[in-house]
Structure formats: C-alpha cells, structure tokens
Amino acid sequence: MAHGAHGSVLVVNSGSSSIKYQLVDPVGGGAIASGLVERIGESEGLVKHTYAGNTTTRTDAVPDHGAGLRAVLALFDEVGPDLAEAHVVAVGHRVVQGGSVFGSPVIVDDDVVAQIDALAPLAPLHTPPNLTGIQVARELLPDVPHVVVFDTAFFRTLPEAAATYAIDRAVAKAHDVRRYGFHGTSHQYVSGKVARVLGRKLEDLNQIVLHLGNGASASAVRGGVAVETSMGMTPLEGLVMGTRSGDVDPAVLIHLQRNAGMSVDDIDDLLNRRSGLKGLAGENDFRELHKLVEAGDEDAILALDVYVHRLRKYIGAYHAVLGRVDVIVFTAGVGENDDIVRARALEGLEAMGIAVDLERNAGRKKEPTIISPDWASTLVMVVPTNEELAIARQAVATVEAAGYEGTSDESDPAPAAAGHA
C-alpha cells in the first residue's frame, strides 16, 4: 500500500478508562487502521481493532493502560497491519490542556511530561490519563518520536480581552485562571480546510466555526487566527452540550453549595455529566432527542430550544467580534449530521446575509458542502472534522522540523469540490 512509501503516524487519545487510536496515512489522509480499548480497570475489557474492513473484538480484562496498549500492539501483530511495514514515523498524542505554556506541538521528553503534569490542576479529569497514555506508549514504542498535540494550542492567540475573566487579577494570576479554549485541533483543521476547499487564502477569510459534537464549542477565526472561542478555563463554558451545561451564572454554584447541601464534587458531577441535553431531556444523543421532540415530549422540545437559542447567541456575538463574516461552518457529530440543528441555528437571519438552503442542507454530509443559497453574502458550510489526521500531520511537521526522518512528500491532497446539493 502507498502508505508504506512515506510512513504513517499512530495517533493515540488516552482517556481515563479508554484508549482510542488510529494509524493514519498523513499524506493520503486516510485511516489505515483504527480502534479503541474501553473499560480499562474493569473485570471485562473491550478491545476493537479495525483493519481492511474487518473488526476484531477482544473482551479480556484490561487492568491498566499499559495492558491496553499491549493488547492493541498484539492485534497489529496478529491481524495487521504490520507496524514495521507501515513505517511509523511518529506517535501523535492528544493532550487536552497545554495551559499558557504550549502554543504548538512538541516532541515528548521527560521535561515536557513534567510540564504537562504541572498543568494537571487545570484539567484534573483529562491530564492524568493523557499522561499515562504517553508514558506507556513511550515504553512500548521507544524507537519512534512521540509528539504531543494540545487541544488548547490554536487558542493561544486569543486576544487578552477575550482570554481574561473579569476577576481580581492577582487571584487569577496565582491560579492560572483564564480562558484557554478547547477543540483547537478541530477548529484549526476545519478553518484551514474551508480555505482550501474554496480555493481562497486563509488570511482573507473571517470564519465562525461551530464544532457541535457531544462536547460543543464555537470559535471566531480571523484570517486563520483564533480571536474568540466559547470554551474557557475548562471545556465546560459556552454552548449547551450533550451532558455539560455550558454557561451558567457562577452564582448558581455558590447557591447550590450554600443552600442545596451540594459538595464541590456534586456540583462538578452535576455540571459536567448531568446537565446539557441529558439534564434537560434525559437524552444526549440528537437522534433520540429528535424522536422525543416529534412525539411531543415537552422536556425534549425545551432542550432543543435552549440548545439552539444558545448557539444563535454565540453566532450573533461572534458576528460582532469579527465585524464581517465570510463563512459559518458546521462540524463534528451534530454539525455534520443534523440538518434540523443547522437550519434552526441560522433561521431568520436573511437581513444579515445569512441563510440555509433547505435542499442543500438536507441530510448528513460526509464531504465539505456549501449549504447557503447563492445570494447569501455569508457562505454556510458543513466540513467534516478529522482530528486524527490533523494530529498526524502536525506530528509529522514537528518531527521533520526537529530533523527526524519524516514523510517524503507531505502535501495536502487536492481539495474535494464544495459539493452543492
């Protein structure tokens, strides 16, 4: 296969009880193999490995992340592809929080691990499992460079006015309280892809990027540079999400602690796991939510209304931040698949030059697609995100810049046509 000629990248996303991975061809852009390990630490684990259209499943116990990654490497050996033949030039790790320290990907060494570890208080749920994944991967694959790509890095450019919370500066400084932004790899990839698909210079485009997945965030991107985003110090701020509240008055937390007898951990659990669509309607998957709405379920109707209302507020706000908006782009699970959310998010904005053509909008979009009518002054697009490919390409660029042997001909493949429906 072609990937052998120019190398591949193993992309690893390590969570608290799971490891997701993909062996990526950074030139062609495809996934050569992919899989996940789930239920790490439970009595029965789950390992799924997909290669050449076949999925192999194992349910042996996976006591820890080391055992999980060993099981994955064993499956590469057993069912392929052979990692030696795939010529892995780098392992790319997704790390959620890079704080104010990391504005670009870095090659992992012990200092980098220590620096990421020092940022753990800012992302206590994510950073420890991210680091565990890095450590076991370094042990099991010691001969390739490991590169960390940070979810926050694209938002290191946020202007101070956007990044600063209006609280006592000394307190904020002492505890690194500021807005970092997340999903940066996706916002960067998608805004770059928009320019390539349109054949326009990224520098010339003002974009609002709506990454709507189970987690959701919006960003304002001026000429390829992020100037505002909806997630803040943590991925809890901003839009309504699957299980996260997004914006609430901070005094709600004080009230619940003072008057509802809730502990800090209770409130953490409430806002991160029992809120959002799940908290409002008992359902966080839009496919199920729409069924409830159609059946007249009032909680589901309100949940969808709250979700859309919040999204529209952000779109309006980012319009003011940018002044002129050339492209509004939807991405991730909801953004790529849910034509109802897309249509409702931009309904009634014709006076702003924004509209969705219902025929172009209809259905799921697997390719970059323009869904606005021809007369609209702002293009509305759906562009599928691909965080693994973005991480793989950044990993290759990082190891090549550091003088490692990399891929021979890294280039962007020809953009897919903006498929008008």
Residues 57-96 that bind ligand AMP (CB under 6 A): none
Chosen residue from 247, 266, 268, 285 binding ligand AMP by CB under 6 A = 285
206-212 sheet: strands from edge to edge:
225-229, 216-222, 206-212, 327-331, 379-382, 369-370
Length of the chain, in residues: 421
Which residue of 255, 309, 364, 420 would you call a contact of ligand AMP, by CB under 6 A?
364
Helices 298-322, 286-294: crossing angle, 10 deg rounding: 120
The single residue among 34, 135, 164, 214 that binds ligand AMP, judged by CB under 6 A, is: 214
* The one-letter amino acid at 259: N
Per the residue annotation, which of 64, 111, 117, 151 is the catalytic one?
151
Binds ligand AMP by CB under 6 A, chosen from 333, 368, 384, 406:
333
How far apart, in whole angstroms, are the C-alpha atoms of residue 213 and residue 313? 18
Q: Residue 288 or residue 400: which is nearer to ligand AMP going by CB?
A: 288
Q: How far is the CB of 286 from ligand AMP (least distance, A)?
A: 4
CB 185, min distance to ligand AMP, A: 13
238 near ligand AMP (CB under 6 A): no
User: Is there binding between residue 192 and ligand AMP (CB under 6 A)?
Assistant: no
Contacts of 291 (CB under 8 A, 6+ apart): none
Kindly give, in sequence order, each residue whose CB lies less than 8 Å from that of residue 103, ignoring residues fewer than 6 positions away.
Answer: 153, 156, 157
Buried b (16+ CB within 10 A) or exposed e, 340-368: ebbbbbbeebeeeebbbbeebbeeebeeb
Supply 386's token pair. Answer: 């691909």
Residue 213 annotated as binding?
A: yes
Annotated binding-site residue? 366: no
CA-CA distance, 147 to 134, in Å (whole number)? Answer: 9
Least separation in angstroms between residue 291's CB and ligand AMP is 11
The Cα 139–Cα 276 span in angstroms is 39
Residue 261 marked in a binding site: no
Per CB under 6 A, the list member of 97, 127, 132, 337 interacting with ligand AMP is: 337
Query: Could you give the CA distance from residue 392 to residue 147 in angstroms, rounded to a whole number?
Result: 9
Among 338, 357, 387, 388, binds ligand AMP (CB under 6 A): 338
- Using the contact rule CB under 6 A, the part of the chain among 127-135, 136-144, 284-292, 390-398 near ligand AMP is 284-292
By the 10 Å C-beta count (0-12 exposed, 13-18 middle, 19+ buried), 391 is classed as: buried
Kindly tell me which residue out of 180, 286, 307, 318 binds ligand AMP, with binding defined by CB under 6 A: 286
85 or 367: whose CB is closer to ligand AMP?
367
Q: Is 20 annotated as a binding-site member?
A: yes
Residue with smaller CB distance to ligand AMP, 247 or 285: 285
> Binding of ligand AMP at residue 388 (CB under 6 A)?
no
Nearest C-alpha neighbor of 186 from the set 53, 25, 384: 384
Tell me the window of 143-151, 326-334, 346-354, 411-419 that interacts with ligand AMP (CB under 6 A). Answer: 326-334
> Is residue 13 a known part of a binding site?
yes
As given in the structure block, the two tokens for residue 317 are: 């706000």
Q: Is residue 188 part of the contact set for ligand AMP (CB under 6 A)?
A: no
How many residues sit in the footprint of ligand AMP (CB under 6 A)? 13
> CA nearest 11: which of 131, 105, 92, 129?
92
Tell me if residue 151 is catalytic: yes
In this chain, which stretch among 60-68, 127-135, 311-319, 332-340 interacts with ligand AMP, using CB under 6 A? 332-340
Q: Using CB under 6 A, which of the segments 72-80, 106-114, 222-230, 329-337 binds ligand AMP?
A: 329-337
Q: Is 35 in the site for ligand AMP (CB under 6 A)?
A: no
What does the binding site for ligand AMP look like in residue numbers (CB under 6 A)?
213-214, 242, 284-287, 332-334, 337-338, 364
The annotated binding site for ATP is made up of 20, 211-215, 285-287, 333-337
Q: Which residues carry out catalysis?
A: 151
The annotated binding site is made up of 13, 20, 94, 211-215, 285-287, 333-337, 387
